[in-house]
Amino acid sequence: MTVLLCSQILGFIAKGSYGPILKVRDVFKDKMFAVKVLAKSEILKHGVVEQSKEEVIIQRQLKHPFIHNLQDSWQTQRHLFIMCDYCSLGDLHTYWLLKGQFGEDEVRLFAAELGSALGFLHDLGIMHRDVKMENILLSDRGHLRLSDFGLSLRLKRGGRAFTICGTIQYMAPEVLGGGPYNHAADWWSLGVMLFSLVTGEFPVPAEPDHSTMLNKVKDFHYVLPKTCSSALILLLTELLCKNPANRLRNLECFKMQPFFRGSSFDSLILQKTPVDVILQLRAHPDWAAKARRGLSLDYFNSFDCDKILHSPTNPTELGSESLRMTHQTPTLSEAQKRELHESALRIVSPGKGILAADESVGSMAKRLAQVGVENTEENRRQYRQILFSADDRINGCIGGVIFFHETLYQHSDNGVPFVKMIRDRGIMVGIKHGIVPIIEPEILPDGDHDLKRSQYITEKVLAAVYKAMSDHHVYLEGTLLKPNMVTAGHSCSTKYSPEEVAMATLTCLTSHCGQSEEEASVHLNAINNCPLPKPWVLTFSFGRALQASALRAWRGHKENEKVATEQFIKRAEANSLACQGKYTGGDNYGDVGQRSYGSCYAY
């Protein structure tokens, strides 16, 4: 069922990360719903496809009186839609802005309802990871509904998370530090929220970055008003314990707090408890202005969501402002040029290349599926740890590592950040982020085209790319070219020798994904032995062609980690020799079964 065909869209509720949240009326049931619209272009661009799927999967499991329940989900060509109950009273943050401080009786009810919701989630192995007032919606009678599961994570018993995510003022110290952390972090966030509700201010003012915020949180000594009861002070002290092992972190202990003595956690009784303060504030003359928060609440009789949200393809649809040329980047200074050039040369110094460890969550799902490993954050972290924990033999083979956003915040089992592990070896980190621009045109290997056709297309692509680079005044000496090797299509009946591949590749200055590890090394070696002039240092930037044997050796088993690391080192050393023209080759060149090619590959 496409709900939009039998519903009337009345207007905007809020602006989400990847699209609007709409107020919708079911014309048959005469009932209101909230529909979260996710533009596929945005979730693809930000690499959150799996996260968006996970949000729906998690919400389908949740039926609880104090959780914002999912009613339906569907998709069109350009959008994903998540439909939930409509909460007409808005969010708790709006009422906090109006009220400033709530009384202990009101906070007690809020705490019982939200604590019940968290206990329910944690029993299912789900961390919310973004508990805050803005994500607490209010039912028509003023009771809480925990919402927005976009950052939620299913965590197995004893599991740990490492991603820094959430809202900075609500993050537990262990989250700000990059983990490891577990469900206890949600209880810290609850403590921050209860502290703010009762005092009218956050325990610690927000800072612009995680490290500064972490230092502040470590040193903070919160002071509660003298009017607060000792029972409330005890509750907040145990929730805001900086050591998660000693923190109040489960519902049963939460219920036993003196603050709740004489109170019931029965959901039916809680829902019958009047929340007069919310209903009174709803009638406040400033409520509409606070709830609006700068968003249009105009109503519409009809609203074509796909038409409104899609990117215009016809230039006439664009305003005159959009037709202007983009502002050119100021010319680099000589010092900046020198720094870029030196960084580029350092990365590709003799015998060194690049480890492309930047595969997105979706791409990693494909890699892990090949060896029967579930695509979880912890499994991705463990696999990357195998690569980054290689011994000093790797130092002479790898000059730079391309990091994925998730990887920048991950740690080893010993708590050492991956970034530090790489940087301490003298290897450059995150080279896609402000150090050396990478130019990365690629030609997919699908089809039966021969080597000559592949070379022709590659030359055309490179010509267009470098024309664009020149038009935008890119300093080419400070860039890395990261294209394909020129190889025939995977359905081509003719098989070409490494020397032929090398000749075609050097003519185009390109490189190709989809070969086996051994083919990539042999071809790279042939390229560096080819008699043609070499305008640049020709080394490697391999992802799958540097990691495939390590992945096969690991297969998600802890006991295989050492063997997998050895496989990675072995392949890195082979490519180090190949980019010097010294690699003699292995026994499995041309083994189709070992190729990393995937039909119609998409990033």
Share above pLDDT 90 across residues of the chain, in percent, rounded to a whole number: 15
Single out the catalytic residue among 42, 104, 378, 440: 440
Token pair, residue 333, equals 């200074």
pLDDT of residue 241: 92
One domain, residues 483 and 385: yes
In this structure, what DSSP letter does residue 3 have?
G
Q: Catalytic site residue 207?
A: no
pLDDT of residue 231: 93
- 289 vs 279, which has greater pLDDT? 279
One domain, residues 450 and 365: yes
Q: How far apart are CA 596 and CA 279, in angstroms?
A: 61
In a domain, 332, yes or no: no
One domain, residues 246 and 109: yes
Q: How far is CA 395 from CA 230, 355, 480, 572, in A?
A: 58, 12, 20, 10
φ/ψ bin of 430: left (φ > 0), alpha (ψ from -120 to 50), beta (otherwise): left
In a domain, 264, yes or no: yes
Average pLDDT over residues 372-389: 88
Instruction: Please say if the pLDDT value at position 592 is more than 70.
Output: no
Q: How far apart are CA 13 and CA 27, in angstroms?
A: 19
Instruction: Please say if the pLDDT value at position 319 is more than 60.
Output: no
Query: What pLDDT, in 10s, does the model give residues 1-25?
Result: 334 445 677 777 877 777 788 888 8
Query: What pLDDT, in 10s, does the model give residues 215-271?
Result: 888 777 777 778 889 999 999 999 999 899 999 999 999 999 999 998 888 888 888
One domain, residues 97 and 140: yes
Q: How far apart are CA 507 and CA 25, in angstroms?
A: 62
Instruction: Please say if the pLDDT value at position 496 is more than 60.
Output: yes
In a domain, 297, yes or no: no
One domain, residues 62 and 98: no
Domain CATH number, residue 432: 3.20.20.70
In this structure, what DSSP letter does residue 447 have?
S
pLDDT of residue 364: 83
Of 17, 52, 86, the position where a domain reaches its end is 86
One domain, residues 173 and 153: yes
In a domain, 298, yes or no: no
Query: What pLDDT, in 10s, does the model give residues 498-511?
Result: 888 877 776 665 33
In a domain, 60, yes or no: yes
Domain CATH number, residue 76: 3.30.200.20
Domain CATH number, residue 236: 1.10.510.10
Q: How far apart are CA 578 and CA 589, in angstroms?
A: 14
φ/ψ bin of 525: left (φ > 0), alpha (ψ from -120 to 50), beta (otherwise): alpha
pLDDT of residue 5: 45
Distance of CA 386 to the CA centre of its chain: 21
Q: How confident is the model at residue 434 (pLDDT cuts 50, 70, 90)?
A: very low
One domain, residues 27 and 140: no
pLDDT of residue 475: 72
Token pair, residue 554, equals 């690991």
Radius of gyration of the CA atoms of the chain, in A: 28
Lowest mean pLDDT among 76-80, 333-337, 413-417, 596-600: 596-600
Q: Catalytic site residue 561?
A: no
In a domain, 146, yes or no: yes
Count Cβ atoms within 10 A of the Cβ of residue 461 and give its class: 0-12 exposed, 13-18 middle, 19 or more buried. middle
One domain, residues 80 and 99: no
Instruction: Please say if the pLDDT value at position 179 is more than 70.
Output: yes
Q: How confident is the model at residue 191 (pLDDT cuts 50, 70, 90)?
A: very high
Indicate the average pLDDT of the chain: 76
One domain, residues 33 and 112: no
Average pLDDT over residues 464-493: 75
Single out the catalytic residue among 482, 518, 519, 561: 482
* Total domains in the fold of the chain: 3
Of 266, 287, 308, the position where a domain reaches its end is 287
Q: Tell me if the pTM is above 0.85.
A: no
Domain hosting 31: range is 3-86
